[in-house]
Amino acid sequence: KKICVLGMGYIGLPTSAMFANHGHEVIGVDVNENVVGALNHGEITIEEPGLQGFVRSAVEKGNLRAQSQPEKADVYIIAVPTPISQEQKADLSYVEAATNAIVPFVCSGNIVIVESTIPPRTITDVVNPILKQTGLELGTELYVAHCPERVLPGQILIELVHNNRIVGGINDISAHKAAEVYQSFVKGEIYKTDATSAEMAKLMENTFRDVNIALANELTMISERLGVNALEVIKMANKHPRVNIHQPGPGVGGHCIAVDPYFIIEKAPEEAKMIMLAREINNSMPIFVVDQMHKICHVNPRKVAVLGITYKGNIDDVRESPALEILEILQNEGILFSIYDPHVKHFHERLAQSLEEALTGADCAVILADHNEFKQVNYDDLARLMSTPIILDTKNCISSPCIKMQVHRLGNYDN
Ligand code: SAJ
């Protein structure tokens, strides 16, 4: 089949390479000329384990090429971003633009699949009206489905193949046709449903995680008040067969979990009370982390070493990262900071080249992302570089016991 994928980002690019490496002819479309140029040389502009080699092999086989405009194909997959606006509403402009862009090329028998995360009813209320401009009858001549992506950044190539998929068609035949498309590489189950259920299911998956992280973060704040070790409490409670409290941390970042719950809230603000509260709790964590930092430092810190600024470990993505807010708070408080993140190349003039450089002269260090690089370090060896060897580990990632370095873990107040 010939597949045209719109949006060469974290989802569209690996998906394109996957189809291409499974024998399909894939056209990758992106509005960014740099991304298009790089891709045609087999180069990628994002970090994801295994992706570079995978994309290069697809391009070298001649099955994947990039361009800035769509063209005629059998299947169109829309995988463009849905950012959140200032008013915390889904900005559907990229989805609308991508749908409009394919209208001149779509023919009878084609399948249009939206993978972008969208608020409930977007296929019915926004995408279908645009596709009607083709003059084709939707569901009989043009098949339309929402097949939300579910891959975890850091494990995209594995999860694309092994995760279960939900395929929400505008009618049964659309769901069936879209499911067939994914059968070429998906080894998980493919479940067929209607488009609106698929939209809502995707949003609820990420909301479930957000609410559970909020519960862990709330437990952390309660534990601070009561002098309890929240990390131990979570470990023990999770020994129950039906309990799965998530891990506390400096907040929830990324372009999915910190954003998707708002797509539900905007559609039903009166009812989505718990969902909103979870957002508020998670958004309050950067302030809590800075407060904790002040409590463990005996004097007001002059310089803080911030270790890890991505929204989670072992990735290069700083979007919606709680670290950005923590840096802003430090800045506003007039506290000097150095930053070290082995996964981020360009970010800030204060980005240090090594852990040693970042720690030198610091009164306190704060780990905000659980990169593997931070787990195996002998922090006792580094203690001498700091003015005061104190470290706040917000991701519970230091495993070795320390003597010279004073290690405080977010959540552990049992002392
Ligand atoms: N986090 C915690 N505590 C935890 C788990 C995560 O504080 O116990 C934080 C992380 O540090 C990070 C944020 O939450 O800041 C989100 O990280 P994540 O690893 O939970 O998820 P994402 O955003 O990288 O990917 C999620 C996944 N959704 C679910 O697991 C339900 C992924 O499967 C989705 O495809 C992705 O969102 C998406 O694109 O929607």
CA of 396 to the centre of ligand 1 (A): 17
Strand pairing category for 165-169 and 143-146 = antiparallel
Q: Provide the whole-model pTM.
A: 0.94
- State percent of the chain over pLDDT 70: 100
Where do the structural domains in the chain lie, given as residue ranges?
Answer: 2-194, 285-409
Q: Which atom of ligand 1 is nearest to the CA of 117?
A: 40
Our mutation pick for probing the ligand 1 site, out of 152, 212, 231, 319, counting the most ligand atoms within 8 A of Cβ, is 152
Our mutation pick for probing the ligand 1 site, out of 118, 200, 206, 393, counting the most ligand atoms within 8 A of Cβ, is 206
Which amino acid, one-letter code, is at 410?
L
What are the pLDDT digits (tens) for 179-188?
Answer: 999 999 999 9
Our mutation pick for probing the ligand 1 site, out of 202, 257, 281, 371, counting the most ligand atoms within 8 A of Cβ, is 257
For residue 349, pLDDT beyond 80: no
Write the secondary structure of the chain as one string of H (helix), E (strand) and C (coil): CEEEEECCCCCHHHHHHHHHHCCCEEEEECCCHHHHHHHHCCCCCCCCCCHHHHHHHHHHCCCEEEECCCCCCCEEEECCCCCECCCCCECCHHHHHHHHHHCCCCCCCCEEEECCCCCCCHHHHHHHHHHHHHCCCECCCEEEEECCCCCCCCCHHHHHHHCCEEEEECCHHHHHHHHHHHCCCCCCCEEEEEHHHHHHHHHHHHHHHHHHHHHHHHHHHHHHHHCCEHHHHHHHHCCCCCCCCCCCCCCCCCCCCCCHHHHHHCCCCCCCHHHHHHHHHHHCHHHHHHHHHHHHCCCCCCEEEEECCCCCCCCCCCCCCHHHHHHHHHHHCCCEEEEECCCCCCCCCCECCCHHHHHCCCCEEEECCCCHHHCCCCHHHHHHHCCCCEEEECCCCCCCCCCCCEEEECCECCC
2-194 against 285-409: fold identical: yes
Task: Evaluate: CB of 319 within 6 angstroms of ligand 1.
Answer: no
Task: Evaluate: CB of 150 within 6 angstroms of ligand 1.
Answer: yes
Task: Evaluate: CB of 6 within 6 angstroms of ligand 1.
Answer: no
For residue 355, pLDDT beyond 80: yes
pLDDT category, 238, cuts 50, 70, 90?
very high
Q: Clarify whether 107 is annotated catalytic.
A: no
What are the pLDDT digits (tens) for 1-25?
Answer: 999 999 999 999 999 999 999 999 9
Q: Which atom of ligand 1 is nearest to the CA of 247?
A: 8
Q: Clarify whether 397 is annotated catalytic.
A: no
What are the pLDDT digits (tens) for 30-78?
Answer: 999 999 999 999 999 888 899 999 999 999 999 999 999 999 999 999 9
Tell me how crowded residue 239 is: count the other CB atoms within 10 A of its CB: 7
CA of 257 to the centre of ligand 1 (A): 6
When pLDDT is averaged across residues 326-353 and rounded to a whole number, the result is 92
The domain at 285-409 falls in which architecture?
3-Layer(aba) Sandwich (3.40)
pLDDT category, 400, cuts 50, 70, 90?
confident
CATH topology of domain 2-194: Rossmann fold (3.40.50)
Task: Evaluate: CB of 257 within 6 angstroms of ligand 1.
Answer: yes
CA of 85 to the centre of ligand 1 (A): 21
CA of 253 to the centre of ligand 1 (A): 8
Q: Side by side, which strands form the sheet with 303-307?
A: 336-340, 303-307, 364-367, 390-393, 406-409
177, 202, 303, 395: the catalytic one is 202
Predicted ipTM?
A: 0.98
CA of 240 to the centre of ligand 1 (A): 23
CA of 335 to the centre of ligand 1 (A): 30
Minimum CA distance residue for ligand 1 atom 1: 252
Task: Evaluate: CB of 252 within 6 angstroms of ligand 1.
Answer: yes
For residue 415, pLDDT beyond 70: no
What are the pLDDT digits (tens) for 149-175?
Answer: 999 988 999 999 999 999 999 999 999
pLDDT of res. 330? 97
What are the pLDDT digits (tens) for 118-151?
Answer: 999 999 999 999 999 999 999 999 999 999 999 9
Task: Evaluate: CB of 206 within 6 angstroms of ligand 1.
Answer: yes
Task: Evaluate: CB of 247 within 6 angstroms of ligand 1.
Answer: yes
